Structure 1
Amino acid sequence: MISLVGIAVADPIDDFMKSELTRTKSPSLVVGIVKDGVLVKHEVYGKSDLEKGTDAKKGDLYEIGSITKQFTAFATMMLVEEGKLKLDDPISKHLEEAPKAWEKIKIQNLVYQNSGLPDYAFEPGIGLADNFDRAKWMATMTKLPLDFEPGVAWAYSNSNYALLGWIIEKVSGSSYMTFMKERILKPLGMNNTVFSAPSFTSPHRTTGYLNLNNQFTIAPPSTASINSDGTIMSNIEDMVKWDAALRDRKLLKPKSYDLYLKAGTLNSGRWRPYAMGLNVSLPGAEPYYGHGGNSVGYSAGYACYPKAKISVIVMGNVYAFGGEPMAKQIAEMYEPSLKPIAPAIKTDPDSKRTDVLKEALAAIGNGKADDALLEPEVTASMKTRRAGMGAAGLAPFRNIEKLEFANEMSVGKDKLLTYKITTKTRDFIGTFLWSAGGKLAMASLRPDGPPKTG
């Protein structure tokens, strides 16, 4: 509650966060909102430790999972600036274990997540909760075929950032954690930020949980077998300093920042809304970068709107919820102008194209990599293990009730199309890259209203 001249006024963000405690089943949540470089809201909710009944408090430490990747990419760009690395270096130049199958993979394929490397997190014995060393990781991963040829498609894989950590060690001559502490964390004053490990203890460390059938279990501690893809542990106060570094462009030269925040491109020349460890906005949208993070027992999210000068950081001690969507929703509550406006339906200039798009979406919903409807960058990414995990969420597109045209703009030879999508379970606003060859080259969806009931 906010007290204003003796009158208690409800804070909608507080109300939202309390409702999110219930929805996410996280024992605690913490939020930080930055406006014009100032931390204007910092609140905590719930319990940092259920067994002890400890209330969450400011300064508590949470693992931030894959938000770690943007730090690793940042370190990579530092080494590029120093001439110790080139983005077009083959990774075999810096990794003696690299097999012949990896010979076409370059550093840029790792940072932009388009290498084709399978995600090690799905492999028995070297998963996120397993204890292993580099030799075991390499022995497992070097035997696996690539999911696709480097640069053909975008597919999120923790393996990319695992390798970047080892490359940073090779070319810097320091351990990954030492490099990060000395070159990034200390200069930015992020003195409370550490790398999670079983041996790390602190009165500020929250307890991470797994929620299994509504029963909380203390999550096993991070094994720290690999640090560069997701083991940073931080708090709101330190993450505000990281946000300031990106906003004020500290520690890197302007040209390096331009690359760091620029969407990566595929062999086809088409972009994907992913920069170096950061999701970025689509053409024509409000400028944005951010990312979510999940680790064993924790979830987090970071969302930054640089033009509006608003950033949001959220953290929780349960696996797993979508931290980035939560952070974006809070930003939209704080600054309503950030909320995307539902596009107006217009007369469809090409109804035949819309019919083919509907077929393409149905193919995706059915998990069918149809080369007649989908460009290679779509079909290749559909065949990965991670895509299989998310297949259930695409089921509504098997039977779209309405696909209504709203807008189009040219992007090179292609068209960026916007549609309102009506399904039985939920409505969406879809943005689609439609190739000059008449195929779907990219799909981006956001919910248009809550799930339907009944």
Structure 2
Amino acid sequence: MNNNSKKRTFVSSMPLLLASLVWATVSHAEPAFQKASEVDDTMRSLMSQQNIPGAVVTILKDGKPLYTAAYGISNLETKTPATTATVFQSGSVGKMFTSSAIMLLVQDGKIKLDDPIAPFFPEVKGVWDGITIRQVMLQRSGIRDYEEFNSIDIKQNYSDEQLIGLLSSKALDFPPGTQYRYSNSGYIALGILIKRASGKFYGDLLQERLFSQCNMKTAQVNVLKSIIPNRAAGYVSNEGPLENPGPVAQTLSETADGSLLLTINDLAAWDACLSNNKPLTRESVATEWEVPLMPDGTQPVTGYGTGWRNNVVNGHRVIDHSGSFQGFRAHYARFENGLSVALLTNLESARGSYIVRRVAGIIEPGLLPLEKEIAGSAAETQKTKSAIIALMNGSNDPLLGSDIHKVFDNKHVEEIESSFIKVTPDTNLVQVNEEKDNSVTLRTYKATGKKVNYINAEFADNKIVGLKFSAE
């Protein structure tokens, strides 16, 4: 039997293994958390369905822990159990900390959000003129995401100057401030800007000004060669057996787009800091969560603040961010009723947002993901899908309202298709909710392809007059 077949045999036993291994701890729960078994059952089921080796979750209310639990395996080769002390990678959840480092410098008076970034990057003089710090934080700078071009070798180390040279080698996607486009490159640049504005590596600034102040005892920037007690191993899967991720060089493992090491207790401590407005002021946090209008006065297609998403889910406001990198998936969400849920896993393709909402829905059922198809809606849904495809292609359809093309011009279509699933004839679209508000009918659709998104369609006089897209 070859090594590959051994690997397949081992992985196929994972659901049974996960179902039998659960470690749970309750943190400061008074009275005892009454829904612990329901959370455990949900986590076990979802981990089995998604073949997730290990995960940890914490549930908090107004910054105080209700329940914290660990499940499964942190390292498949050593069969080490996951615990609440297991160290995972943050992925892009780290962007909220980069944003917070910027806000600390703003509080210090060292920079202003509307300062231009060009003076901090003299090595690319003239290339990033007109871009402000705020625009980079809001993902409205136009700096192209490095994942869209192949000039960066993730196995190679780069100096700050080399990285900036590579990131600035491509033309801007759009004039600064005019559109939204998610860009890891922008946050890498912010990390270097923090160093040049403060004289400190962004990770050192976070350690001194945020992690230590918030009692985040384990939080740190990833250093590959360091011995990190309880460090988990990350895994990837391409619809096959689990594998170790490919190598990434040290300098690209510590960039400010999301390269932190965290335990679930670190995220619980972070939640408490946010609830207590320290060390960030209430005004700084409000700025991070704000989603300003676009320059033309329109709402942005994507509810993205500075390092945080800000959206409405099932009528409930949620401030959150997800992240995936090097075999890990993380998600942290704060809901408007004071409930927070954080999740860390060691499978890059885990559906972090979905798992968090399933757990949150145990506490508040209104937060559960909408999934069940409305009976008898399939035929009308097919017509809606055809209309959405036509709209995205700039074509007409009998179901489209007369003014909707004015809103969904080429710019907005580009924003949607860069952030969400592109609706095609192969997309599985099902209607999962319907509400009426006077003469307007709001229908919610779940769109499933390579990823899962939701589409809220407003109908008036049997015509689509509005569309809103949101992540799972």
Which category of TM-score, normalised to the shorter sequence, fits these structures?
Answer: 0.7 to 0.9
**Residue pair 1:31, 1:313 contacting (<8 A) in 2 also:** yes
5 Å-filtered alignment, 1:31-430, equals: 31-126=57-152, 130-219=156-245, 220=247, 223-225=250-252, 226-272=254-300, 273-282=303-312, 285-305=315-335, 307-339=336-368, 361-363=388-390, 374-381=408-415, 384=418, 390-391=421-422, 394-395=423-424, 406-407=435-436, 418-421=442-445, 430=455
Provide the C-alpha distance between the structure 2 equivalents of 1:9 and 1:405, rounded to a whole number of angstroms.
Answer: 30
Write the deviation string for residues 50-73 of structure 1: whole angstroms up to 9, x where unpaired.
111111122000001101000010
Quick one: distance in 2 between partners of 1:177 and 1:427?
A: 33
Q: Residues of 1 paired with 2:136 and 2:440: CA distance?
A: 26
Aligned to 1:30: 56
Deviations 1:122-151 (A, max 9, x none): 332526565333233233222211112222
The share of aligned pairs that are identical, in percent, is: 26
Task: State the 1:281 CA deviation.
Answer: 2.5
> Which residue of the partner structure matches residue 468 of structure 2?
443
Aligned 8 A contact 2:90 2:328 in 1:
yes
Classify the secondary structure of the residue corresponding to 1:243.
Answer: helix
Letter matched to residue 334 of structure 2: C
Aligned-pair CA distance for 1:280: 1.1
The offset of 1:371, in angstroms, is 6.5
CA positional deviation for 1:290: 0.9
For 1:81, the aligned partner's letter is Q
Note closer, same or farther for the CA distance 1:156–1:54 as it changes in structure 2 (3 Å cut): same
Distance 1:26 1:283 in 2: 25
Point out the more displaced range, 151-160 or 250-259. 250-259
- Alignment partners' CA distance in 2, 1:76 and 1:84: 10
Per-residue CA distance 1:10-57 (angstroms, 9 max, x = gap): 822211111222232221111111124332211111111111111112
Q: Given the superposition, is the C-alpha separation of residues 16 and 270 from structure 1 closer, same or farther in structure 2, using an over 3 Å criterion?
A: same
Return the alpha-carbon distance in structure 1 between the equivalents of residues 127 and 244 of structure 2: 40
Secondary structure in 1 matching 2:321: strand
Secondary structure of 1:214's match?
coil
Q: Distance in 2 between matches of 1:91 and 1:284?
A: 38
Does structure 2 conserve the Cα–Cα contact (< 8 Å) formed by 1:419 and 1:429? no
Per-residue CA shift, 1:99-119, capped at 9, x if unaligned?
534212111111111112111
With over 3 angstroms needed to count, the CA separation of the structure-2 counterparts of 1:368 and 1:153, relative to structure 1, is farther
| Aligned-partner residue type, residue 381 of structure 1 | E
Distance 1:154-1:210 versus aligned 2 partners, 3 A rule = same
Match of 1:349 in 2: none
Aligned-residue offset at 1:121: 2.4
Structure 1 residues 245 and 10: alpha-carbon distance in aligned structure 2, compared to 1, 3 A threshold: closer
- State the superposition RMSD in angstroms: 3.9
Cα gap change, 1:380/1:44 in structure 2, threshold over 3 Å: closer, same or farther?
same
